[in-house]
Structure 1
């Protein structure tokens, strides 16, 4: 009887060790998402322009919902810094039916669930407004980057929607592609922040919002993550 009890105890200990090792060795979001930057010669899918991606009614709805919610735009790790970007930002919930329909179209193009999508970001630029060259995901190995990745891994797709076009300047510049893109109103730019295999930020995805010389520029960003997005706001 004592031998049997010892055997059972030993088996329980072994099971506990196996389960513990399995939990510790399971890839978490921050380890699944690689930091750093891809080599410039890594495969990259170039930006695509969609004309009339949203309807005038959808554009007007986004603007009406965003206007009372605008606050100074922030950046990861820097907060509000008008030397990096000068704009206003609002967030619209993907639980809103109109917003959900727009985001679902982006997800369908990329074969991802809406669970992986963030809420819709709306950005307003006035005269002199800009956003310096930046990546939509993160390659830096710091606390802010790790916190960002915990929310669902890297951003793997961006749909940048131009809500209007009655302004001067304000094109989206892909710095390392030497390409400026400014779709007509309701058009959009689909691009991928990472290399083709969704591992690291790709240098060719580096982009900037060029300064406005006159008018107001309104854009909306749909972002899709590697994993279901964890919303810490709602």
Structure 2
């Protein structure tokens, strides 16, 4: 459990918390359900992945530390594989590791991975789409390893193993997440969550507040990027779409598939066993 803090440090700004927000900062178990949408690549829909109070907190945190003023448009840095350039008209901003609520959400994502490598993740990233904005076809996995600047693994090279994209609101129309190289939903699938493309090809997932998509970016046998994970954020027709990215890390020297043994899982061995 993470101890509640009276102040947070974010982008060099001290953020005073209200009493009801302090009570939120202990990690609470979240019950959710899942649906497997694809095996290759592995794509899982997670119903109710995040609490409404966590969403409210993140939105308030963003405003309080002027995250939305810090939102910026990003263009191709020759790392992410893309089809069109410039490829993104939406905006994004990263949240601080030090924030306890962000840490709780990160822990929930890592726990979800079970025996798959789950040592660490990148900073949570908020994204915002206004009407007409989109993110063209791209992959989350990287051409070249990134060098971590995070506490705990600074200097280590990694690629993006898994992606969690959580929808956190905005009441938008359009803005579906589209995987063109994945089999789509059936005609009997829940229309509030899935759509059918005009050409009948690919998987279309609608933004539903509180739910998330998870997918594996890398091939588990060799750690190379899976081209079938190419996806796009389709244009928003009306309203504003807010989302949150969380990318888990794969280190080249670490096996992707476990069993993964955390420090908490290791059994105590008495000293006499080593005599």
Instruction: Establish whether TM, by shorter chain, passes 0.5.
Output: yes
In structure 2, the partner of 1:200 is 224
Cα deviation, residue 196, structure 1: 3.2
> Of residues 211, 214, 217 in structure 1, which corresponds to 2:238?
214
Cα deviation, residue 73, structure 1: 2.8
SS of residue paired to 1:48: strand
Q: Contact conserved, 2:172 with 2:238, CA < 8 A, in 1?
A: yes
After superposition, the Cα gap between the structure-2 partners of 1:170 and 1:56, relative to the gap in structure 1 and judged at 3 Å, is: same
Q: Contact conserved, 1:156 with 1:198, CA < 8 A, in 2?
A: no
Cα deviation, residue 151, structure 1: 5.3
Partners of 2:226 and 2:147 in 1: CA distance? 18
Give the structure-1-normalised TM-score.
0.69
Q: Deviations over 1:41-98 (max 9, x none)?
A: xx8342111111001100111112224213223245169x983101121111232111
Moved more, 89-98 or 210-219: 89-98
Q: Contact conserved, 2:174 with 2:235, CA < 8 A, in 1?
A: yes
Give the structure-2-normalised TM-score.
0.59
Q: Deviations over 1:182-202 (max 9, x none)?
A: 242100001111123351111
Any stretches of 5+ residues in structure 2 without a counterpart? Answer: 1-38, 149-154, 183-201, 253-275
> Of residues 194, 212, 222 in structure 2, which corresponds to 1:188?
212
Higher relative contact order (CA 8 A, sep 6+): 1
Q: Contact conserved, 1:171 with 1:180, CA < 8 A, in 2?
A: yes
**Aligned ranges for residues 87-106 of structure 1 at < 5 Å?**
87-106=90-109
Q: Contact conserved, 2:146 with 2:159, CA < 8 A, in 1?
A: no
In structure 1, the partner of 2:35 is none
**Aligned ranges for residues 130-141 of structure 1 at < 5 Å?**
130-139=134-143
Partners of 1:136 and 1:65 in 2: CA distance? 26
Q: Aligned-residue CA RMSD in angstroms?
A: 2.6
Any stretches of 5+ residues in structure 1 without a counterpart? Answer: 1-42, 140-144, 229-234
> Of residues 157, 163, 187 in structure 2, which corresponds to 1:158?
163
Cα deviation, residue 203, structure 1: 1.4
Cα deviation, residue 165, structure 1: 5.4
Q: Contact conserved, 1:127 with 1:212, CA < 8 A, in 2?
A: yes
Cα deviation, residue 99, structure 1: 0.7
Q: Contact conserved, 1:168 with 1:215, CA < 8 A, in 2?
A: yes
Partners of 1:121 and 1:205 in 2: CA distance? 19
SS of residue paired to 1:86: coil
**Aligned ranges for residues 7-22 of structure 1 at < 5 Å?**
none
